[in-house]
Amino acid sequence: MARAENPSLHPALRIFSAGVIIVLLVGAGLFFTPALVRPRWPWDVAPFNARFLGSFYTAEIAVMLFLLVWNRWSPGRLILFMAFTFTLVVTATSLVHHGMFNFARKAPWIWYAVYILSVIVSGYVLFASRSKPVVHGPRLAPSLLTWLNLEWMLLALYGAALLALPLQSTAFWPWHIDIFHAQTYSAIFLSGAAGVWLLARNGTREDFLVVATAEIMVGALAILGLVLTDLAVHRVTWAAPGTIAWIALFALIAASGIQKLLHARRMATIA
């Protein structure tokens, strides 16, 4: 992408990106060192929920690294839009379910401060840059465009279902999900829908790389986290239809990410 067509973002955004990555490293600890991080988490988090949350935070680190390194309008616009969607939903669900937090500890206060600040920063940058011209990618093949539109609608629909019908929407999951976690997990699907929606509209090679990385890591790490956790607690019924459907869901997300990665490589070849 030519630099003149893809302007730099304010250098201060790099500081924000670095700060977010440092915070996300703590969240990633839920996946890699759950025994160490779980007791220090802002609320009581069970083993399966811990690894699942950790898988997403690990993927988020990779996404924010793209913003830290490139710090340009593409993929910055897409990353900030996804980040704003994710942090706004998580902040809202945390406020609604504030009873889950023990405010006698420091961790909940840090949690709210980090998320509210992230909403403000990402929202402000998007608003301040609203008149900045969109960086357009090449025209997409009709088959790919159809899939992207279908994908973001399905992700948005399931994310909305997790908010509106949290227990019913997670009934097939391999472990029990309470209302708070189900509604919080909606942010993962809604932010994914936001990213894919932008790809369908104006996806550049950089944009495709970001979403591809996020989807591959979320899909693969979610499944790996389920396996690793069950090796310790032995609670998953692997032959259950719900478990198979859950694995298929995240395998499809990872596969869709691989498809986007291959498309990004083709775009680089054409360029």
- Write the DSSP string, 187-225: HHHHHHHHHHHHHHHH--HHHHHHHHHHHHHHHHHHHHH
Residue 2 falls inside a structural domain: no
Give the HSE-up count for residue 121: Cα atoms under 13 Å, Cβ half-sphere: 20
Confidence (pLDDT) at 3: 59
Q: What is the number of domains present in the chain?
A: 1
Residue 250 falls inside a structural domain: yes
Scanning the structure block, which residue is given the tokens 């830290």? 68
The predicted model scores a pTM of 0.96
- Residue in 95, 84, 93, 143 with CA at minimum distance from that of residue 118: 84
Scanning the structure block, which residue is given the tokens 């600040």? 117
Residue 246 falls inside a structural domain: yes
Residue 131 falls inside a structural domain: yes
| Average pLDDT along the chain, 271 residues, taken 10 residues at a time | 76 94 97 97 97 98 96 96 98 98 96 97 95 91 97 98 98 98 98 98 96 98 98 97 98 98 87 56
Specify whether the CB–CB gap between 257 and 215 falls below 8 A.
yes
Please list, in sequence order, all residues whose beta carbon lies within 8 angstroms of the beta carbon of residue 240, skipping any fewer than 6 positions away.
174
Residue 53 falls inside a structural domain: yes
Confidence (pLDDT) at 271: 56
User: What are the tokens at 245?
Assistant: 């459907």
Residue 155 falls inside a structural domain: yes
Residue 151 falls inside a structural domain: yes
Specify whether the CB–CB gap between 45 and 100 falls below 8 A.
no
Q: Measure the CA angle with vertex 187, ends 144 and 136; round to 5°.
A: 35
Domain limits for position 30 = 9-270
- Residue in 70, 63, 115 with CA at minimum distance from that of residue 89: 115
Element (H, E) at 18: helix 12-32
Confidence (pLDDT) at 157: 98
Torsion of CA 129, 9, 153, 119, to 10 degrees: -80
Give the HSE-up count for residue 202: Cα atoms under 13 Å, Cβ half-sphere: 11
163 SS3 class: helix
Q: How many residues does the chain have?
A: 271
Instruction: Give the separation between CA 243 and CA 106, rounded to whole angstroms.
Output: 36
72 SS3 class: strand
Residue 4 falls inside a structural domain: no
Confidence (pLDDT) at 1: 54
Confidence (pLDDT) at 269: 73
Scanning the structure block, which residue is given the tokens 């630099």? 3
